[in-house]
Structure 1
Amino acid sequence: VDPAGIMQAKSLADQRRFFDEELAPVFEKPLLKWATSRKASLFGLGIPPAQYDSLITSGDGTMASVLKARLEKLACDFPLQNNYFAWQAFARRYPNPGEAALPAYLEKRNYKTIRNNVDRVAIRHANLIEFLAGKDAGSVDRFVLLDAQDWMTDDQLNALWAEITRTASTDARVIFRTAAEPSLLPGRVSNSLLDQWNYADAASREFSARDRSAIYGGFHLYVKQAA
C-alpha cells in the first residue's frame, strides 16, 4: 500500500474511504501485529520504551490497535488542505505553495514578521529544572513541556513541578502532550504541588481532539491558582 494515495482525496469522505479500504487492513496482518508488539520496532518513530509503555495503555492493549487509531485520526479527522502533519506522514513532504496550508512559520506572508521579531527569542540549551531554579518566584507565565514528561521518573517530575510551581505567576499556564490519553501527573506528582493547579479538563479534551498531529493521546492544560 502506498500511503501517498490518500493525497488524491478531494473530501473527508474520500479520505475515510482510502483509510478503510487501503490502510486499516494493514493493521490486521499478523506480521505487523508481531512487529509492533516489540518495543524496538518503534524506535524509528522516535518512541522510546517508556513512551511505548504509555502508548499501549490505549486501545485494546495491543500496539497495532493504538497505531491504527492514531493513523485513523490523522487520515480521517482533518481535511488534507489544512493538515501539514498529514502531508509529512503520507506525502513525505510539505505541500508546495498553493497546494495546502504550511506551518505558520513557513508561510511567506509571515516571513517579515518573524524576521523583525527574531531578536526577541532567546535560546538556552539547558536542563529545564536547573534553568527555572535561576528564575525569580512568580516570574514565568507560560510553560510548554511538549512530551518530555513521558520518560521522566517520579523524582524528576516532582523536581520539575516544584520549580514550575515556584516560578509560576498567578494564572500561569502549562501545556504538554502525552502518549497515553490521561494526564500522567496524578498519582506521580505530589498533591501539595498539584493542589496549586487547576486541570482544565474540558479545554484539554477539546485541544486533544483538535491536535492535527494525531500522534499523541492527550493534550493537557494546567492553570495556576491564585495564592
Structure 2
Amino acid sequence: MTSLPSVSEQIGAAVNQNDALSKEGLLERLFARLFHGLVYAQIWEDPVVDMEALQLGPQDNVVCIASGGCNLLSYLTADVASITAVDLSPAHVAVNRMKLAAVQYLPDHKAVYDMLGHANLRDNVLAFDTYVAPHLDAETLAWWNGLTLRGRRKMMLARGFYHYGLLGRFLSVVHLVTRIARVDFAPLLRAKTLAEQAAFFDREIAPLYDSRFVKFVARRRASLFGLGIPPAQYDKLAADAGGDVIPVLKERTRKLFCDFPIAENYFAWQAANRGYQPDGQGSVPPYLEAQNFAAVRANAPRATVLNQSLTDMLAQQPAASKSAYVLLDAQDWMNDDQLNALWSEITRTAAPGARVIFRTGGADDILPGRVLPEVLDRWAYQQEASKRGFQNDRSAIYGGFHLYEFQG
C-alpha cells in the first residue's frame, strides 16, 4: 500500500523549485518550514470581489484554498450549495474549523464579533472553552490547546489574534519602522475623503520607500516571507518594475491606503491599526457583518475544511461536480507539471459554466504557454471582469486578478 505524502512533503512540493544547496533553494526551504505554522489569521484577498466575479449563488458548489478563512466564511453569505476548502498548513485548517464552529455555536453575533472581530478580549477564552471547543475535532482542539512559548494558542483570542501568525509579525515590524519614523496613522483612520487619504500617503508613507533602510530590507527575498510570499513569487513582483521591488511595493501600498474609502476597507484598517474598526461597522469582512450573521450561521454546515492539496482533493471528486474555484495566488508557486496536474483536475470536475478566479504577484496571466492548449482552450479568459476585479480588490497586494469561464 502506497503511503500518502506527509504535510512536510506536500508543502515542500508546493514551494521548493530549486536545489537545496542553492541560495534560492535554501530560501524556499526556510519559507516551507515557516508555512507549517500560522501564516494568516486573516486572509489577504477581498471576498466581495470574489463573489462578484464568480456570481456565487445557491446553485454553486465551491472549491477554495482556506488560508485565514475570511473568504470561506464570507462565501456563505451567498447561500452557496457547498464549499470545500483545503490548505496544506495544519494551522490554517485548525483556524478555519474553529471559525466555522464559532459562527455556529457561540450564543449570538456579539459573541462572534468579540471572538473573531475584536479578537482581544479576556472573556474570549472562556467562550472558546464553553461554546466552541466541544464541537471541534480532536486534532483541531489539540492545536488550539497546544502550548507555545507565549502560552496556549487559544490565548491568542484574548491578546489580539490578528497580531499573530507570520503576517501579524510582519505587520509588527512594519509598525516598529513607522513608529521610529514618527508616522501616526490616526489621521488616516479619521480621513473623510480619498483626497485626505492621498495627502497622508504622500506625506507620511511614500518617503519611507526612499529610505536606505527600507530599500535594503525590502530588496531581500526573505523580507516578504511575512506576507506569505515565497522566493518565486517575489521575483514575479519585482519583474513588474524591471527587477526592483521597491516601486511595486510603493504602488500597492498607495492603492491600499488611497483608492478606497478608509471606512470601507478593512484591509487598510488591519495594516494601519492591527485590527478592525472598533464599532464593527464598514471595515469588516462580510461574514462578521451583523446583517449576515443569520445566513452565515445557517450555511456553515455546508462547509468542509481539509488538510490536502487542491489537486489531490479534486482528484477524489466526481466529474462535473464543481462550479466555482478560488485558487488565491497558489499558482505563482507552481512549476509547469504542477499547473497542468491542477488544471487537468479542475477541467475534469468543472460543471457547465464553471468559473475559476486567481490572483498573481505580477500583472500578467501566468497560464498561457504553460498549461497545455488542449486543456486551457476549453476555458475562456474574461478580460473585462478580470480588469474590474483587480481594480476593485481592496487588499491591493496583488498585481493581477484573473477570471476564466468553462466552455465545455
Q: Is residue 3–residue 91 contact of structure 1 (8 Å, CA) maintained in 2?
A: no
Q: Is residue 3–residue 23 contact of structure 1 (8 Å, CA) maintained in 2?
A: no
CA distance in 2 between counterparts of 1:8 and 1:101 reads 13
| Structure 2 match to 1:159 | 341
Secondary structure of the equivalent of 2:366?
Answer: coil
Which deviations, in whole Å up to 9, do the C-alpha atoms of 1:175-219 show, x marking residues without a partner? 111111111111211111111100001110110000000001111
Deviation at 1:52, TM superposition (A): 0.3
Deviation at 1:97, TM superposition (A): 1.7
| Structure 2 match to 1:141 | 323
CA distance in 1 between counterparts of 2:329 and 2:335 reads 13
Ranges in structure 1 where 5+ consecutive residues have no aligned partner = none
Q: 1:87 aligns with which of 258, 269, 277?
A: 269
| Structure 2 match to 1:38 | 220
Secondary structure of the equivalent of 2:356?
Answer: strand
Write the letter of the residue equivalent to 1:110. Answer: N
RMSD between superposed Cα atoms in Å? 1.4
TM-score, length basis structure 1: 0.94
Deviation at 1:122, TM superposition (A): 2.0
- 1:48-197, aligned counterparts within 5 Å? 48-97=230-279, 100-197=282-379
CA distance in 2 between counterparts of 1:3 and 1:184 reads 39
Secondary structure of the equivalent of 1:175?
Answer: strand
CA distance in 2 between counterparts of 1:35 and 1:123 reads 36
Which deviations, in whole Å up to 9, do the C-alpha atoms of 1:79-128 show, x marking residues without a partner? 00110000001111100126533111111222222112221212222222
Secondary structure of the equivalent of 1:172?
Answer: strand
Q: Is 1:199 paired with 2:395? A: no
Q: 2:206 aligns with which of 24, 29, 33?
A: 24
Of stretches 107-116 and 168-177 in structure 1, the one that deviates more from structure 2 is 107-116
Q: How many residues align?
A: 226
TM-score, length basis structure 2: 0.54
Write the letter of the residue equivalent to 2:287. Answer: Y
Secondary structure of the equivalent of 1:123?
Answer: strand
CA distance in 2 between counterparts of 1:93 and 1:71 reads 17
Of stretches 205-214 and 165-174 in structure 1, the one that deviates more from structure 2 is 165-174
Which deviations, in whole Å up to 9, do the C-alpha atoms of 1:137-171 show, x marking residues without a partner? 22211111111111011100000001111111121
Deviation at 1:35, TM superposition (A): 1.7
